[in-house]
Every structure is written in C-alpha cells, then in structure tokens.
Amino acid sequence: MLQTLYDYFWWERLWLPVNLTWADLEDRDGRVYAKASDLYVTLPLALVFLIIRYFFELYVATPLAALLNVKEKARLRAPPNATLEHFYLTSGKQPKQAEVELLSRQSGLSGRQVERWFRRRRNQDRPSLLKKFREASWRFTFYLVAFIAGMAVIMDKPWFYDLKKVWEGYPIQSIIPSQYWYYMIELSFYWSLLFSIASDVKRKDFKEQIIHHVATIILISFSWFANYVRAGTLIMALHDSSDYLLESAKMFNYAGWKNTCNNIFIVFAIVFIITRLVILPFWILHCTLVYPLELYPAFFGYYFFNFMMGVLQLLHIFWAYLILRMAHKFITGKLVEDERSDREETESSEGEEAAAGGGAKSRPLANGHPILNSNHRKND
C-alpha cells in the first residue's frame, strides 16, 4: 500500500508537463538536474543553523547589544500565589470580571490586587529586550547575507532581465552549484525558523507566521523537485530584499536609536510595498501564471505552485495593511507601536513603577517593536 501511495504521489502527470517523465530529468552528459532526494540534507542543515544561531546570539549579538547599550526595563514580579498561578496556567491569562471576583474570594485579595497580580504575571512571561535584540540580529545577518548571495546567483543570468527565459527549455534545465547551495541554505533556514517558532518572540500574527513558514517550505521544496529553480531563485531574492531592513530597524529600536529606526522603517516600507505588492504580483506571478501556458498545457504542478504563491501574496497584503496603518499614524504624528506586538502593561494607576525605581514616566516597550519617536516602528 505504501508503495502504491509513493508511486501515485510521484506520478509524472502531477508534477511534470505532458509527455515528460522523471527519466527526462536524470543526470546525463555532464548536466545535473534537481532531484527531490537533494532536499534531505536540509533537515540536518536546519539543526546546524540552530547551533550556529545559539553561538551567534551568545558571542556576537549579546556583546553587540552591550555595545549599543541595550538596556532591560525593570519588571515587578508577581508575588507567589498558588491559587492565582493555577488559574493563570490552566484557565487563562486574562480573567474576566466574574473570574476576578471569584479569585478575589479564593485568594483573600481585593479585586484590584488580583488584576495587578495578573498584569505583573503576564509581563513576566513577555520576552526580554535582550532576547528580542538577539533574535533580530540573527535574522538581520542571515537575510542580508542571503540577499547578497541571491543577487550574486541570479544577476548574471539572462532570465533576471527577461522573464520569458525562465521557462526556456523547461523542464529540461540543468542546475549549477550556486543554485543548489542557494536553495539548500534558504530551505534549511526556514526549517530552522519553523523548529524554533515556539521559543521565539510571539506576536499577534503568530498563526500567520506559521502559515508563511509552511507555505515557504512547501514552495521551495516543490519548486526544486519540479525544476522551477529559475523562478524560485527570483522569488527568494525578492523576499530577502526587504527582510533585512526590517530586522535592522528592530535592532536600532531596541537600542533606543529612534530616529535611525524610523528612517530605516520608512525605507523598509517602501521596499516592501514595491517588491511584495508590485513586482511580485505583476511581474513574478505573471511570469508563473501566463508564460508557462505558452509552452505546455496546465497541469497539477502548475496549479499547485501558483496556489501557494497566492497564499503568500495574501499574507503580503495582510502585512502591507499593518505597515501602511503604522505609516499613517507615523505621518500624522501619533505614537505608534508595532501593530503585531503584544504591549507590556503598566501599573501607573497604582504608582508602583515609581516605587520600583522605574519612574512614573516610563513608557511601555512594545513587545518587540517600536515605539517610534513620533513614533512608529516596525512591523514584524
């Protein structure tokens, strides 16, 4: 039965145009073609990325944070309380008013004290500023290196300047070592992001991030073994072109360089809109939807690839909406935080921050994102 499922999954009519078989993509005459088995190496490479990330954050990002004077904000800790802790872990972090009254009777605390305890407890679970800085530093480094490497891989190729050449001779298109390593490294990195997403900084678009990572992994994998490599390299480089700007803006935000962060964010927003809402749908998607049909009839792989591209495009529209909303608030001079961030709560009504030495004027740090000056910050 497993063999039957395997044979059906790899049926040529699913993944290749009519009249072509996997035998047409076997290495011969010094020409090497992409094979699904090549992707096995990405899983151990993803673990290598996680190890590299650990040491990078420890020995590069942490000293850099100290150099940039990244400072933690003192947080008041919730006093031990078994009743409230049990509710927090099993029932929810945001008790409703009726639940607050019940917990007040069970714990012997006033309703105000119960609400204060939950505020402090939630703040304890929020990631530290140093954690967010180290995470942004790691992603900035990878995205910048990946973008430079990606441009080096594709800039001298004729299909970079003429998208019709993406499909010239498809699918009998051999690959070169630079394309192989570009694919393997990009796919391995996204596997590592998926593996670490549970421990990384969580924001309001957590579910969208998971969908993005899964869709990206599926797209990269499929485009490799179906030999959509030329289109795949263009798409990966296009995505990397703005990601490193966002991560650098975060780093400067965490370091308190608000003006620098604001300026980089503006550049990021412009690049994001141009690449994700203009170039991707009107050039790249047009290339993958229209040009192939000039060469062969549509088949399952054609529909599958473009469907996954559509999923990514919808996510881009969602994030562009958040970016533009933040940009509008920034232009109008309103205090803005990352639309996806989970803001740290304050206790100014109790005057407790002043008592703790934080000062009543202390501002909440958007869980990870800006607080721009006139303020606006990043989106991730």
Determine if the pTM surpasses 0.85. Answer: no
Do 152 and 182 touch, CB atoms closer than 8 A?
no
Domain presence at residue 357: no
Same domain? 240 vs 104: no
Same domain? 115 vs 204: no
Kindly report, residue by residue over 279-299, the tens digit of the pLDDT.
999 999 999 999 999 988 998
Q: How many domains does the chain have?
A: 2
Instruction: Tell whether the model's pLDDT for residue 344 goes beyond 70.
Output: no
What's the token pair of residue 5? 């499922």
Q: Number of helices (H) and strands (E) in the chain: give both, helices first.
A: 15, 0
Cα distance between residue 257 and residue 265, in whole Å = 12
Instruction: Tell whether the model's pLDDT for residue 82 goes beyond 80.
Output: yes
User: What is the C-alpha end-to-end distance of the chain, expressed in Å?
Assistant: 45
Same domain? 256 vs 171: yes
What is the per-residue pLDDT for 157?
A: 94
What is the per-residue pLDDT for 26?
A: 87
Other beta carbons within 10 Å of 143: 21
What is the per-residue pLDDT for 293?
A: 92
What is the per-residue pLDDT for 375?
A: 39
Instruction: Tell whether the model's pLDDT for residue 313 goes beyond 70.
Output: yes
Cα distance between residue 297 and residue 273, in whole Å = 33
Decide which of 268 and 8 is more confident: 268
pLDDT band at 348 (very low <50, low <70, confident <90, very high): very low
Instruction: Tell whether the model's pLDDT for residue 167 goes beyond 50.
Output: yes
> What is the domain extent for residue 113?
82-125
pLDDT band at 125 (very low <50, low <70, confident <90, very high): confident
Same domain? 56 vs 88: no
Residues 6 or more apart whose CB falls under 8 angstroms from that of 72 comprise 128, 129, 130
Do 158 and 234 touch, CB atoms closer than 8 A?
no
Domain presence at residue 256: yes
Cα distance between residue 216 and residue 96, in whole Å = 38
Q: 337 — phi, psi (to 5°)?
A: -120, 170
What is the per-residue pLDDT for 228?
A: 92
Q: 278 — phi, psi (to 5°)?
A: -120, -65
Same domain? 221 vs 295: yes
**Polymer length in residues for the chain:** 380
